[in-house]
């Protein structure tokens, strides 16, 4: 166990239980954010991101709906 890990465990043990829960929740959020930032997207995700960029750059090429209901009605007709 590294010195940093041992020190972190020692600090955690000194916290009251509510502080331990808070610290663990914070650590979980940090690790989750790090994982998301460092994750390499697969081909399908990359394709979806490119499609989203295309839609932002050229909205005139894509159909728009005034309401979500209009969208859903068209989806039901196409199904």
Q: Please give the average per-residue pLDDT across 20-36, as a whole number.
A: 78
* Co-location of 7 and 34 in the same domain: yes
pLDDT at site 72: 92
pLDDT at site 12: 67
Q: Are 76 and 67 in contact (CB under 8 A)?
A: no
Q: What is the pLDDT of residues 61-72, one digit of tens each?
A: 988 888 889 889
pLDDT at site 14: 75
Res 46 pLDDT > 60: yes
Measured CA angle at 29 (ends 25, 33), to 5 deg: 170
Number of domains in the chain: 2
* Co-location of 53 and 73 in the same domain: yes
Percentage of the chain modeled with pLDDT above 70: 89
Work out the mean pLDDT of the chain and round it to a whole number. Answer: 80
- Cβ partners under 8 Å of residue 74, min gap 6: 65
Question: What range does the domain containing 67 cover?
Answer: 41-79
* Co-location of 30 and 49 in the same domain: no
């Amino acid at each position: 166990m590294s010195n940093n890990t041992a020190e972190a465990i020692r600090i955690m043990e000194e916290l009251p239980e509510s502080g331990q829960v808070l610290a663990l929740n914070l650590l979980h959020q940090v690790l989750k954010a790090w994982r998301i930032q460092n994750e390499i997207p697969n081909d399908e995700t990359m394709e979806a991101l490119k499609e989203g960029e295309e839609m932002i750059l050229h909205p005139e090429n894509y159909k728009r709906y005034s309401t979500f209901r209009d969208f859903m009605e068209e989806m039901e007709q196409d199904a």
